[in-house]
Structure 1
Amino acid sequence: MNRIEKIRYLVEKLNEYREAYYNHNDSPVTDEVYDRLFDELRRLEVETGIVMANSPTNTVGYQPVSELKKVNHPVALLSMDKTKSVDDLVRFIGDTEATVMYKLDGLTVRLDYENGKLVLAATRGDGSEGDDITHNIPAFMNVPLTIPYKGRLSVSGEAFIHRYDFERINAGLPEDKRFSTCRNMAAGSVRAYDPEICKSRNIYFNAFKVIEGFEKINSKYERMSRLQKLGFPVCPIFKIEVGSDEAALERRIAKIREDAKISGIPIDGAIVQYDDVAYSKSRGATGHHYKDGIAFKFEDELYETVLRDIEWNTSRSGCMIPKAVYDMVEIDGCAMTHATLHNVSFVKKLDLHVGDRILISKRNMIIPAVEENMDAGKGNVIIPNRCSFCGAPTVIRKSADETGKDVEKLYCTNPACGSSLIKQFVHFADKDSMNIEGLAEGIIEKLITAGLLAEFIDIYDLEKHRDEIIGLDGFGEKSYERLIASVRKSSSTTMNKFLRAVDIPLLGRHASKTISDYFKWDIAAFEDAIRGDKPFDFTALEGIGETLHQNIYEWFAESENVALWKRLRCKISIVQPEIDTEKEQNDMLKGEIVVVTGVVEGYTRSEMDSLIAQNGGIAGGSVTGKTDILVIGEKPGGSKVKKAEALGTKMMTAEEFLKMLNK
């Protein structure tokens, strides 16, 4: 047993004796034995310079705070690219030396040390900014407060709760205060204002990366070994032999999974990274993850919850899509409360009733899905006979799904079902979408009432109804010709406008342009990414978060939407955007992300976005750690300005910005 192992052993034993003495009125050892062990621990701490947070010699105490201050991360704490294929791991490694370690399921924490003393602890937050949790570190079970290291050392790792502690602690909490997962409990405890809460939850820490320090050590494996010698508990890590095949990796991952289960450590996968630190840095990063590693996720896990409602939402075609609403479950750090049920056949197959216990998964790490009904067998599934939106009668029709199999679907019989349909057409015809002049709200309502519009594709068949349209109140030959001319013009559009038009929730002007830029305005490349075996990670793109990423995949998971997309693609030509060649050569803002807040005189927001792009920049929608410039116009948004100030983002008035671009 080396000195660090001896320190850990003595801390554990002495705390065990203290617990028995103070809380259970028991004395496992005599005072003489306790004092001798205590003195030996203190001697070892002095010799090594290592003092653990839970050491009985530590009298720092626990000071609560009234709020959690925000902390900027000088080096972004990004996520990992993910896969569920071992074959992907083999391709990723190639002929490069690599390591594999536990993918801990907890909360990422950064620890900073100056000349051997802990000076700061912060959560990962959004990667650019986290919460200051320094006050809680003395309440952790195994974080060193002092280490024998001169200079600056910054380490990131995971705070977690062992599964057996989670079950024990959760059982002792009131039913309405219990946590759904180990990760949920760890996250709440680490962010608690009162360290006593953190102390009572048995929070452990495992380091998995050196952010700053150890510059002369170029091996990740050796850096982890060096951390251990300084007293840090490190995430279990193993070297992968060059040339390891799929079978060898599968055996290693299976062993990792089994070992973690035995030890009660919560993991949800394994992480493979290059061992060479310099090579890793040269790989760079996206806005979402570093390219030096890849996370292997275990198969979709099932989470039990209770079905509280089935909502039936009417789509553009009148088809009513059922949605499950259930008690919140947390999967991969995301709170899940609803999932699509697809159609009547699916609801009947699972025999779903409100109050049933159901099992939820997050399919392909993206889309929440109801996998099983644990209370099936009741029969007589209730299908609504009235539309929940307009109250019209409903009807069940059979139609083929994408595989050619007949399924039952529920339809509202009212072809003009509610104002929501009108708003969807207004959005489709908007100038930032398909830009169909003359197709205003009043005209759309008349066309829907006349039975000429039911879904977007009908717009491109309006020429077939010339006489009917001219006969409508307020229409004539000229107004009809203007409308048709505008429809024809819209049939040739750019990818970003088409993406916005189909109305994927939260996919607005900025996000649709960001996606189009990434795929080089090639909509076929976008379609390939959606359909690919490995899910494309849209959160890697500037300004796109987890919710929009999920919305995109949920939208394309619906056969109704896919059918609409395909029919529109047959009618509409997607073209490259027109670019002023002379302006395109101006790279004053090359690669810089520029966000505009407030009103800029003489420019619409769309024109400002174009101006930024023409000068080589990227128009952002919100201020993040990756934003380079915030342009402030009249009546700016206060939250954007405050965020920019906190991040130290460069700020310019609209006048200064335009002057810089010679405008």
Structure 2
Amino acid sequence: MDRLKAEERVNELNEILRNYGHAYYVLDKPTVPDAVYDQLLNELIELEVLFPDLVFPDSPTQRVGGTPISNVEKVTHDRPMLSLSNVFGEEDLREFDKRVRSGAGDKVEYVCELKIDGLAVSLLYEDGKFIKGATRGDGRIGEDITANLRTIRAIPLKLKGAVTLEVRGEVFMPKKSFDTLNEQRGEQGEELFANPRNAAAGSLRQLDPKIAASRNLDVFIYGIGGDGETYNLSDHDESLDYLAKQGFKTNTERQVCTTVEEVVAYIEKWTEKRTQLPYEIDGIVIKVNQFLYQQELGFTAKSPKWATAYKFPAEEVLTTVRDIELSVGRTGVVTPTAILDPVSVAGTTVQRASLHNEDLIKEKDIRIGDKVIIRKAGDIIPEVVSVVVDQRSGEELPFNMPTECPACDSELVRIEGEVALRCVNPQCPAQIIEGLIHFASRNAMNIDGLGEKVVEQLYRERLIQDISDIYKLEKEQLLELERMGDKSASNLVAAIDASRSNSMEKLLFGLGIRHVGERGARILSEHFGTLERMLNASKEELVAIHEIGDKMADSIVTYFDNEEVRALVERLRKADVNLTYTGARVRIEEGANAFAGKKIVLTGKLEQMTRQEASAQIEALGGKLSGSVSKKTDLLIAGEEAGSKLDKARELKVEIWDENRLVEELNK
């Protein structure tokens, strides 16, 4: 392809991928399968490698910088990022309303918005292009975190219009991402984040953008940094609509209120419903809607007089630590848990609170029998805030972590750089049981009916000792278990049998390899195609795969170097467990159709379908799409006006189809 055609295609791909990304990350309404997006992104990457001068700052490939930041530069905000005053109850709120109406009159409207519990940021755009992002800092001077902000896919790198403006927003970590991150850190013996806000702030301050990118951060834009009237906007609500049209993600749960009673009703509604949100909020922001009245009311030295934040009260309750139990996870990490007198916190009954590790117990001096104050960190995870020392009777018992595993009596070790104690015995029954539970879980092999209690019974009865034994189970054996009836046994056997045909990424995640999560398992499965091909992969081959780092690569190599693991894989193969990536979780037998297992290139214009539609169907049938023709290409599909790829395919004697042949094969 010559440079002119390459530039045209790069511009086309940039626009297509921006639109797809906006639909997925901002509107939460995906318009194409992941496989289509990934195929187009790979094509763009290949073109940018061939023509480095066509790598534009707003390209989707530039979301993650390859080079860690050596130091953080300071940024002076053109307009200070002021904090908000706080109100803590209805009486305070009505006083705020009186002051506002005294200064601006009774025609005032309020916009009520959810107060996202995250990190405030400023984003600067010139001619529609994102050029700089910074933290709030002290309100006047923040830190330049542009590289990390570019990794957040809800932040547009290019706007719909060529406008120059600054916007303010709140970066946050969704609850699901927070739970996943802390689970991973716990398995790795790393210190856990206390709440999603701390996790988001810590992620944005990482010197390596790749780490920030792995944290799945999100953002809501809540306002324009400058004067809204510059953009012919008369009020705040209208400005948020304008920002949404430019491509920004705004929170649609806002409400315009004309009376303080409506504001109170909004607060009551979200005080009750906030636990249902997929992200954390710690209050409600109330702003005067009309810009004219905002100007009339003005500012104090620290905050605007036309806005305030209603803060939810932190619910902390008193209870007693009755015992401290230990559990062993599937990676061997030993976690202490406080057993509490049952108490209601934030709408649920709490009886247990994780103490995370030995260092935390010593730091807070938590003893069995202590009166403690607990709360839910981020309204999710019960945690011990502090000990009520002056209520001690003298009979409280200090707790010391054991030196031996509570499940297998093996010596516990603390690996250098980790805070957790770990059992390193691969035959530890607690680790085996946790590994079996993980293998059968919904996000792994999804064996419905094979939950914790059933796994424990099967292991105790020595019916399963490793995951391959699951596929030897028979209905008659299951009927011998407690509370296992005929229908339940039949359903479980059927679920086990159905799991044999899962795509490779489900199995790979189910194996429980350290540092290999769901996304990593899918990326690896797409790359290698079969588990057999992955067994002998070198570290160099692994780190060459996009998004696979040194830590994951080392873990994979170490795992598959183990002869016991290789024997396990062989037992799974003999049990007819699918070891092949089938895409979209559809089982594809090699040679079952004209696309399965083949490396395919699409080029030119299609008339009977879009290239995106064709790509999705080919991927679903097991084809592996590529953006360039090489000796490894099995098939080229050429539409109208096919160019250099067609010429190269002919030169390399690659099989070539036209669109009619493609449609014919897809319809078989």
TM-score range, shorter chain: 0.3 to 0.5
| TM-score (normalised: structure 1) | 0.41
Could you say which structure has the greater relative contact order, defined with CA pairs below 8 angstroms and 6 or more residues apart?
2
Structure with higher strand content: 1
| TM-score (normalised: structure 2) | 0.40
